[in-house]
Amino acid sequence: MNQMKPDKPVQQNPPIVPVQMDSSIAIRIAMGAKMSYERSLMARTDIWHKVRVIRGSLYDKETVLKAILRATEPADLIPVKYQVCGEDAYFIARNCGPALEKLCKTNLIIKNVMGDAVILVITLGYASIHDLKIHIQPLLLTALTKRYDPNQKTLNLEHFHMDPDIDKTVYCPMSQLRTSNHVLKLAKTAIATFEHLNLQRNELITLSAIENSNLTSIKYLDLRHNSLLNMNTLTPLKNLTITKIWLDGNPLCENYSSADQYVESVKRYCPHLEELDGVCIVPNMPLIYRDYFSNDKTQRLVHRFAAHFFTLFDQLDRTVLRGLYHKNAFYSMTLAIPNTLAQKMNFNQYPRRNLLRKGPKKNTFLYQGQEEILANLNKSPRSYHDRSSFNYDVMFDDGDCLVVCISGLFKKLSSGTNVLSFSRTFVLTASLDNEYHIMNDQYHIDVAPKNVTPDKVVVKYSYDEIVPICFSPTEKSVLITRIRQITMLTAEWSETYLSEAQWDMRKAITNFMKDFKSNAIPEHAFSR
């Protein structure tokens, strides 16, 4: 009988003895000094390192971390658990040896976007991953699931790293290839098929992650407001059947002097393309815009207005719209559904104006004045407007007056559930504090397209949980003054607490008291 050989001893990593790395040690490492222990800690993947940002409290989180990530490019660094304590800011990171090498070459002194020098001190081997367990995967899955619309087969990853479920724990901008690879591969395996991928505002400089993740089902790709420099960054899309793509807001758009050159250049990489930046480019067809805005400023204004107005309009009590309508505003509604069908579908709740009627009753359902309009709006059935279906057409804009038509789908939620289409033309007039008031609201309702069934429009939130808050600059100034009187904070810190609480005074004060009790507010945050 052969004698059994004793098992080989299992190799274990040596115990961790943390080492603080400041500028002097970083210089020695950058110059090639042996520093074997420090280098071994930097190379290990099973330990956390702690990064201290000297006087990091002077800057917001995004400013600090962007500067650090810029200094480590193209190496990967994923900051975790960013927090401010006293004057300094801190975060931890792991599996980032090449990034730490890059930081050593800067002597741990980097510059932020304002040109200020930011000094770092790094504790190598701060903790073992077994002693400090942080699970990032569930956070990403939660965010991805929340941002997936199964009815539209849409995955919305716009400004993904700023998602509240992620941002409070980990800073993982999609501009880092390692992050975008991981997120898109996770999306492909963890959620159902998606055809529309929205990657807006992620500072992307490459699309390699789309190819690496084998996202063959994508037909519509939204890449607006990224950092794509040249058209050859679209190379990973060549083998996909992209029919719609949005590229405006990228530097590559400035490389072309004519629309034809721009279109032809994109089609080299997306040969199946039918629509570019919202414009139909099918051969022998005139350019057709899905939405029309005169400029980016108007587009932002209209989108903010639509989001605010329809969120309030879909409330149980529509008197929350008070303040949006001008005191002399007009409102009318027309219904394209025949009376017999309207009675069968229980649409008689919509008081409507017949524009063809003659005689003294022709203006019976033309309402004037804010109170009269709000009283009438409250008589209409409760609704939910699907903002993903909206089309926008700006018909006039001279800075003082804005005329915009917004059309799309909505679901009637009372007395039977039906999906209807609508077209609503607003005449907005500018007033003080950069506010606009509605001077005229012309509301038209029709049946939905035949292929749109009630299940196509999914109500995504509980109405009663929405607390609409929208203040003018003057009103915000009053709130800032009030919270300064209560907390003795500076104006800047008062505004920060209010904006993070979406200008909810009660929530802002609650957050302040929580931070105050935990000594998380630096001394310079208070007025002297």
DSSP track, 363-429: TTT-EESHHHHHHHHTTSPPEEEEEEEEEEEEEEE-SSEEEEEEEEEEEE-SSS-EEEEEEEEEEEE
Q: What are residue 182's phi and psi, to 5 degrees?
A: -65, -45
- Map tokens 């879909």 to a residue: 314
Structure tokens at 149: 């619309």
In this predicted structure, what is the pLDDT of residue 344?
64
Q: Which domains does the chain have, with CATH numbers?
A: 19-128 (3.30.70.330), 136-280 (3.80.10.10), 296-447 (3.10.450.50), 473-525 (1.10.8.10)
In this predicted structure, what is the pLDDT of residue 463?
44
Q: What is the torsional sign of CA 335, 336, 337, 340?
A: positive
DSSP 8-state secondary structure symbol assigned to residue 132: S
In this predicted structure, what is the pLDDT of residue 352?
57
Residue ranges in the chain modelled with pLDDT below 50: 1-6, 10, 356, 462-466, 468
In this predicted structure, what is the pLDDT of residue 495?
85
Q: Cα(302)–Cα(300) distance, rounded to whole angstroms?
A: 6
Q: Cα(483)–Cα(169) distance, rounded to whole angstroms?
A: 28
Q: Cα(264)–Cα(283) distance, rounded to whole angstroms?
A: 11
Q: Do 331 and 313 touch, CB atoms closer than 8 A?
A: no
In this predicted structure, what is the pLDDT of residue 90?
97
Whole-model pTM: value is 0.59
* Residues in contact with 431: Cβ distance below 8 Å, sequence separation at least 6, in sequence order: 437
In this predicted structure, what is the pLDDT of residue 323?
83
Q: Cα(47)–Cα(24) distance, rounded to whole angstroms?
A: 23
Q: Cα(481)–Cα(491) distance, rounded to whole angstroms?
A: 7
Structure tokens at 436: 């606009």
In this predicted structure, what is the pLDDT of residue 424?
94
Q: Look at residues 211, 202, 199 and name the one whose alpha carbon lies nearest to residue 239.
A: 211
In this predicted structure, what is the pLDDT of residue 296?
78
In this predicted structure, what is the pLDDT of residue 468?
47
Q: Look at residues 58, 59, 44 and name the one whose alpha carbon lies nearest to residue 93.
A: 44
How far is C-alpha 483 from the chain's CA centre? Answer: 28
Q: Do 219 and 241 touch, CB atoms closer than 8 A?
A: yes
Q: Cα(417)–Cα(452) distance, rounded to whole angstroms?
A: 13
Q: Look at residues 119, 235, 122, 154 and name the one whose alpha carbon lies nearest to residue 456.
A: 154
pLDDT tens-digit profile of 366-417? Answer: 889 989 999 888 888 888 898 888 889 898 988 889 999 999 999 888 766 6
Exposure of 471 by Cβ count < 10 A (0-12 exposed, 13-18 middle, 19+ buried)? middle
Structure tokens at 298: 């108007």
